[in-house]
Structures are given as C-alpha cells and as structure tokens.
C-alpha cells in the first residue's frame, strides 16, 4: 500500500526546476516582494512564449541565509547533489528561491501546499509570491463550477497572468490580460486581508501560528 502511494506521489510531483537567485539587499516589504514577483512573472511569460509553451507555475520565496534552519540547509545540500537545486551564488547572504511547477492533477496541486508551508518556516520567509497563467470568468453572479463548467471551457473565459503575494496579514494580487500570447493593459490590482482566500496557494501562513517576521 505504501509503495503504491509512493509511486502515485512521485508520478504527481509537480516540481520541475528549482533555482536560487542572489539578491543584493533584503526585500523590505510585501510591496517589494510583489514588485519582484511581477517582474519575474513578466520575464517568465515572455521566455515561455518565445519558446512556444505555456507559462509554468512559479513560487518565489525570499530568504536570508543567516536565518534558514538545518532542515533547509540539508535540502540545499542534497538538492544540489541530485541536480534538483541550482544555487547561483552561495556567498550571497540574501536570495530568492524559484520553484517551477507543472500541475497535471488536483493531487499535484495539493502536494505543493504542505511543501511550501514547510519551506516558509524552514527559510524564515516573511512573504512569498505565486505566479500562474490561468483562465478566469467574469460574471455578475457567483461562479458555479458544477453548473458553469471549468473556466477553461467557458465561452466567456479570459486568459490571465496572475501574480499573488502573501504575508501573514494580507494578500496582494495583480492580474494581467493575455491576448494572442501577449500581455495587454496595465492589469488589475487588489489587496485583501489574509483571511480572504484569493486562490489555492494564497495564505499559506494561516496555519502557522509560530511564524514571525525577521
């Protein structure tokens, strides 16, 4: 039974690529984090379209090497040996972990929730960003997936690049329109309190009462 679960877990593991990019200075606020998330999302989107494939999902977690715990240090050591993590500059005190994901099933999405929650604690990250290319449907009435179908199949669907940044108290979301594989307009911007869900991967601090900012 365990072997079957292990096989299913490995088959659905969404992480495809991880990389640590050095930061010259720490990010001072959630707004700095969201700005980094937006610029990174635009670069990722443009690179993906130039190479003719969909923009993958991305988690972006900032950290200070002086604050990471032993478990994350072990993850970095084994990750590098297995070619799962590329650390561009180990001498840089500040960095941002980029985790590229390819979600194929609901289970593959569920897997990432405890992984990111654990990493936020292990890395003492005060905030994080999530990037995704997705379909949305704007309607006056609440969207009912059972009645209206999947957003990707809806006739009034719109393609969006979404950047969601969370800290323990709030969320910031930017949605940019996609038309003909290009970003258009300035995008929609909204802020919410942490107890308001703006997607599966928002508010991943909510179950961690011990998490504090550094």
* Residue 214 lies inside a defined structural domain of this protein: no
Q: Is residue 133 part of a domain?
A: yes
Residue 116 in any domain: the answer is yes
Residue 7 banded pLDDT, cuts 50, 70, 90: confident
Is residue 213 a part of any domain in this protein? Answer: no
**Residue 210, in any domain of the structure:** no
The tens digit of pLDDT for each residue in 86-136 reads 998 999 999 999 999 999 889 999 999 999 999 999 999 999 999 999 867
Domain with 146, as residue range(s), is 2-193
Q: Tell me, yes or no, whether 203 lies in a domain.
A: no
Model confidence, pTM: 0.84
Torsion angles phi and psi, residue 161, rounded to 5:
-100, 120
Measured distance CA(15)–CA(9) in Å, rounded: 12
State pLDDT tens for residues 179-210: 888 888 777 899 999 888 888 899 999 655 44
- Does 21 fall in a domain? yes
Domain total of the chain: 1
175 DSSP 8-state letter: E
Residue 106 included in any domain: yes
| Bridge partners of residue 191, in order along the sequence | 172
């Amino acid at each position: 039974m365990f072997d079957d679960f292990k096989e299913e877990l490995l088959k659905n593991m969404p992480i495809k690529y991880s990389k640590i990019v050095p930061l010259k200075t720490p990010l001072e606020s959630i707004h700095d984090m969201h700005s980094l998330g937006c610029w990174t999302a635009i670069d990722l989107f443009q690179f993906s379209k130039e190479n003719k494939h969909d923009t993958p999902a991305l988690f972006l977690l900032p950290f200070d090497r002086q604050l990471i715990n032993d478990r994350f240090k072990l993850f970095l050591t084994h990750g590098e040996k297995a070619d799962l993590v590329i650390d561009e500059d180990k001498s840089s005190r500040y960095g941002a972990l980029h985790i590229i994901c390819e979600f194929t099933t609901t289970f593959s999405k569920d897997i990432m929730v405890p992984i990111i929650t654990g990493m936020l604690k292990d890395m003492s990250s005060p905030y994080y960003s999530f990037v995704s290319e997705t379909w949305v449907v704007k309607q006056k009435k609440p969207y009912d997936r059972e009645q209206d179908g999947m957003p990707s199949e809806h006739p009034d669907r719109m393609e969006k690049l979404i950047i969601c940044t969370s800290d323990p108290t709030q969320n910031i979301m930017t949605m940019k329109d996609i038309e003909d594989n290009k970003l258009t307009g300035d995008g929609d911007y909204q802020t919410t309190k942490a107890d308001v869900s703006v997607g599966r991967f928002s508010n991943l601090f909510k179950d961690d009462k011990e998490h504090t900012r550094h």
